[in-house]
Amino acid sequence: MTMKHRLLILLTSLLPLSLFLSACGNAQSSTGGNTVYQVAPSFREFYQSLGGEDVLGPAISKNFTQDANECQYTSNAMMCLNPLITDSSRFFLSPLGDQMGVYEDPTQSPAQAGSQIVDGYTIYDEFLPLFNQLSGEKLTGKPLTQARLNYSQKRIEQYFQNVGFYHKFSDPSGTVHLMAYGVFACKSNCSYTASVEAAVSISTNPAENQPLLNGLSKMGDTSVIGSPLTQAYIAADGMEEQVYTNAVVYAPPNHLNEAKLRNLPIALNMIQGTPGPQRYDSSSGVVFYPVSGSNGFHVPLGFDKFIASHGGLEFSGNPIMEVFQYDTTTYRQCFENYCLDYHSDLPDDQKVQMAPLGSQYIGLADSSDASVPQPLEISPSTVTLLASVQSKQISASDAQKIDIQVLRKDNQQPVTKIKAQLTITLPDKSQYSAAFPETGLDGRASLIIPAMSNLSNSQILVYQVCISDSTSQPVCATGNYLIWGVQ
């Protein structure tokens, strides 16, 4: 064998080894079927500035070129840089959310109360610290949805163009994660599987996601309530709610089989009549519905038949007015939960229909001087107030954090938009008072107590938190913490 042949065999045998070593230079590890890589040198500073692996997750691909940009997937995003730009703006996160087709029209998706609204979307307060850490819209992109509950993955979630935020139901207040956008977008090109709780779960069409509809089975043909105008969301009273063309459906979270119809006409401040005595009967084409003793309202036989064949008064509620002429061809009568229209110009099987009031309800949610009715009366028998301190022992030079959570007693679901007041009794019997922000979708709120440098070691501070909205007996929780340590 010649020297030339020996060299050729040696080089050939070393080639697979060199490729393997090259791959190992990029791949950090491969365990449990998940392959992760080193962050490319060009992205390391940018990656770390955003929180590194704790925020963006591990790198799940090598760096590559896309549209003349250098990019690299992490489990939660896709980092890119434009080599033609020399300042820090050359770094950006790719709009993976746009590729998913996730979008809710903010005019048809009622926003929750919150401290920051972007293009009609309310940024969920729990997400704001991480949203700001990511330079807001500059890196997260514009919001694509309102915050919403995802029961299958037990989280509150909100989609943005470049990243998606989520907060697990079991997470303490202030804990926020990013959804696995990178895993979703990279698909089979990356060898990485996201955890169930972080995985992207897309349902963009309200018609494909109607979790409350089965709870209306006693109503019979539910098509009469029309098409869904929104995704299901958590309403101000903590109920899961979905707006349809002709009605608003709600139910306690985790008890969706108990779905009912909201008092839609009442919420819309429809003019209510005064119940009167019976003057007519079926011979005049009406049925009398008593609502206050012997007084009530006359309901046309066609409306009575519609109510009887669609779950009865349980779903319609009592009439709140007599029939009136709505326009030249339509007569209307409103009940507690919906209105019925009689269209004289339509075929017989289409003359009686529910009035399309759903869009007005959405407009009501957007109005600053209107609110959705609160059927839950806040009292010790209906809600539980939990309160805890971040540290049972702090120095007088340290700030303290107090967390609260409000839960319904009947189903342990969070209650939103609850206001609470804190009172701390100091050693000299004076008091420090402060108000908590309203509870969020998870029923939680937090308050930072500034350092009290005038206090001495071994002093015990007693605090009390009471719900401001209580309409009967006060709902309160108490606790204490110790001042101890170097000041």
Structure tokens at 337: 């939960």
pLDDT of residue 445: 87
Instruction: Classify 383-483 by CATH class.
Output: mainly beta
pLDDT of residue 17: 29
pLDDT of residue 163: 97
Q: Please check whether residue 475 is in contact with residue 380, taking contact to mean a CB–CB distance below 8 angstroms.
A: yes
What separation in angstroms does the CA of 200 have from each of 51, 102, 109, 234, 407?
Answer: 21, 10, 20, 20, 28
pLDDT of residue 2: 44
Average pLDDT, consecutive stretches of 10 residues, N- to C-terminus, the chain (487 residues): 41 33 48 82 96 96 94 97 92 92 73 72 89 94 86 82 91 90 90 87 62 92 88 76 91 88 90 91 95 95 96 96 89 96 92 90 53 60 87 88 85 78 90 88 84 85 85 82 74
d(CA 182, CA 97): 10
The domain spans of the chain are 24-204, 206-267, 282-356, 383-483
SS (H, E, C) 343-405: ECCCCHHHCEEECCCHHHHHHHHHCCCCCCCCCCCCCCCCEEEEEEECCCEECCCCCEEEEEE
